Amino acid sequence: MSTILVTGAAGFIGAFLCERLLVHTGHDVVGLDNLNHYYDVAIKHERLQMVTSADVTSNRFHFQEADLADAEALNAIFEQYRPEVVINLGAQAGVRYSVDSPRSYIDSNIVGFFNVLESCRHYPVRHLIYASSSSVYGRSGTVPYSLDHRTDSPVSLYAATKKANEVMAHAYSDLYGIPSTGLRFFTVYGPMGRPDMAYFKFTEKMVKREPIDIYNMGDLRRDFTYIADVVSSIASIIEGGPGTQDSGVSARIYNIGNSDPVSLLEFVSTLERVLFEEGVIEHAAERRLLPMQIGDVYETYADVTELERDYHFRPSTRLEDGLRRFAQWYKMYRRL
């Protein structure tokens, strides 16, 4: 079996991926995370506890606290564990935070990713899989978002760093023969999610009986993708191995989305209803309709044709089902 390095292992996607690999495969898993305080670190520790609980008998999970921007520390981890597969999910996330704190995105998403590429070059790997984002499509007026669409007009620095990652990975694949696969994630949600995401913030406000802010007067559409579907897609790509472009370069990109966008108002209504039904809230929320936020886009909608073709997988969890699982977890997490 392989040794797989997962960066961002205490993050939302990273932790669930580590758990799946430990439960459903025989791979050794090295988890790397810097446990920064972009949001409450307590939820990161809870995710790590979930992962270690999945590994209670096999001792196949090895956690390393380190920063991707620290090239020496990263090289030491590659030297010690010699991973065959690297899954780079570690990054500074959040579109709106990038407006106020741009330097952290350069340190983590540009310098950090460069260090990952360099480590993969000096300690050759069989496959590099890395997180990109639907944000790279910018304000594309054509939906669904296809891999054929142009992605050279980002509307946030976060999106720009993710597009840079795709270009950097392609160059390293061409120059140094590092097979790479980029994943453009579309609005991932579910239990243990990031507290800065809209559904989590809406829930916190509803519980406190505070008004919730709905931007662009509610006229937004999002392709919400449940965490288990995201993890299953990554697992399929790990097992299926890297593909090759027509140019002969082993560098591919895939959309990872549910391909079923819903309006923000419909999303809020569904979330509110399942929170009622699961006993998380008792009162309807006041809604404040506000203008579009800087760096935001009107609609996201994934075309997953290539994912289905190459790996025979398509995300399919219904929004209501995913939000209900989040509500059940949230009630337990907050001890309501």
Dist. CA 85–CA 82, nearest whole Å: 9
The answer to whether residue 284 sits within a structural domain is no
CATH number at residue 59: 3.40.50.720
Dist. CA 9–CA 18, nearest whole Å: 7
Write the CA distances from 116 to 24, 230, 242, 325, integer angstroms: 26, 22, 18, 34
Residue that the structure tokens 């990273």 belong to: 14
For residue 114, the enclosing domain spans 3-188+226-257+301-316
Q: To the nearest 10°, the Cα dihedral for 133, 2, 12, 105?
A: -50
- Beta strands 262-263 and 221-222: pairing type? antiparallel
pLDDT of res. 248: 80
Residue 126 tokens read as 């069989």
Residue 211 tokens read as 């008004």
pLDDT of res. 265: 93
pLDDT of res. 331: 97
Q: To the nearest 10°, the Cα dihedral for 254, 258, 263, 267?
A: -130
The answer to whether residue 286 sits within a structural domain is no
Residue 257 tokens read as 């989305």
The answer to whether residue 194 sits within a structural domain is no
Query: Residues for the chain: how many in total?
Result: 336
The answer to whether residue 327 sits within a structural domain is no
A 10 A CB-CB count for 4 gives: 25
The answer to whether residue 63 sits within a structural domain is yes
**How many domains in the chain?**
1
pLDDT of res. 170: 96
Decide: 226 and 186 in contact? Cβ < 8 Å.
no
DSSP-based three-state secondary structure for 97: helix
Q: To the nearest 10°, the Cα dihedral for 12, 18, 24, 25?
A: 150
DSSP-based three-state secondary structure for 36: coil
The residues near 165 (Cβ < 8 Å, ≥ 6 apart) are: 109, 110, 113, 130, 132, 182
pLDDT of res. 56: 81
DSSP state of 74: H
pLDDT of res. 1: 74
What is the mean pLDDT of each successive set of 10 residues along the chain, which is 336 residues long?
95 98 96 94 97 90 97 98 98 79 91 98 97 91 88 90 97 96 97 95 96 90 96 96 80 95 95 97 92 81 94 93 98 93
Q: Which member of 105, 158, 172, 301 is catalytic?
A: 158
The answer to whether residue 231 sits within a structural domain is yes
pLDDT of res. 246: 67
- Angle between helix 41-54 and helix 12-24 axes, rounded to 10 deg: 10
Dist. CA 300–CA 262, nearest whole Å: 9
Q: Identify whether 158 is a catalytic site residue.
A: yes
The answer to whether residue 273 sits within a structural domain is no
Q: What is the largest CA-CA distance in the chain?
A: 58
pLDDT of res. 92: 87
The answer to whether residue 150 sits within a structural domain is yes
